[in-house]
Amino acid sequence: MIISKENDDILVKLIFSKNGKGRFCPKRLKTLSQEQSQYFKTRFSDSFSDRETALRIKYHIDIRPVCETCGKPVKMNIRLGVNSPK
């Protein structure tokens, strides 16, 4: 699969509940085809977890957020915003 918004939208509908509008469902990763699974695993080389990769795909965050003060990667928390490293 080629990296594109269309392919990202397909994945979002498959791995999030409520047809892409709900929560991330890690169990749904097992239902992806081999090609979709490979695309998901290689979409972002700098993600720390499947959840982070899924959220970055859903919210179109191509560049991993970093702390403006210290430059360290920050923890992804979409509901609360992005948290600064401790």
pLDDT bin (cut points 50, 70, 90) of residue 80 is very low
8 A C-beta contact, residue 57 and residue 43: yes
* Model confidence at 83: pLDDT above 80: no
Q: pLDDT by residue (tens digit) across 28-58?
A: 999 999 999 999 999 998 888 999 899 999 9
By DSSP bridging, strand 75-77 and strand 81-83 are: antiparallel
CB 14 within 8 A of CB 56: no
12/57 Cα distance (integer angstroms): 7
> Looking at residue 73, what is its pLDDT?
85
Q: Domain-by-domain residue ranges, the chain?
A: 5-83
Rounded CA separation 2/79 (Å): 29
Distance (Å, whole) CA 34 – CA 38:
6
